[in-house]
Amino acid sequence: PGRSRKVAQALRMVAVTARRSRIFIDATYRAVLARMGKPVATTATARELGLLIYLMATRGGEYVERGMQAFERIRATRTVANLNRGVKRHGYLLVRIAEGGEREKGA
């Protein structure tokens, strides 16, 4: 019990430090922070770090930094998918307007 508490505390400290960086973990921290608040964001980020460490230790994998652009790309894709699902439920179609002003169907 005491050892796991110390590990959890260390992971929370790393999570708080990571929020000042410009990496994927920071982006996930800020996304949770916007929705849930600082304590929840810190705990969620610490949990994510713990999972990464566990997977690296048990499966021998390496951590590959994906960067903030990857996070924003994933988030944008998820947002569009959620919007598409919502409008289809009400019988509408989401249409993307391309840069040239032409419409693209189903984007």
DSSP one-letter code for 96: E
* pTM for the structure as a whole: 0.61
- Please report which confidence band the pLDDT of residue 52 belongs to, taking 50, 70 and 90 as the band edges: confident
Determine the average pLDDT of the residues in 28-34: 86
* Tens digits of residue pLDDT in 58-101: 988 777 777 778 878 888 888 899 999 999 999 988 888 877 66
Q: Rounded to an integer, what distance in angstroms lies between the CA atom of residue 10 and that of residue 8?
A: 5
* One-letter amino acid of 61: G
Nearest alpha carbon to residue 25 among 77, 78, 64: 64
- Please report which confidence band the pLDDT of residue 103 belongs to, taking 50, 70 and 90 as the band edges: low
Q: What is the mean pLDDT of the chain?
A: 83
CB 82 within 8 A of CB 51: no
Determine the average pLDDT of the residues in 23-50: 88
CB 19 within 8 A of CB 29: yes
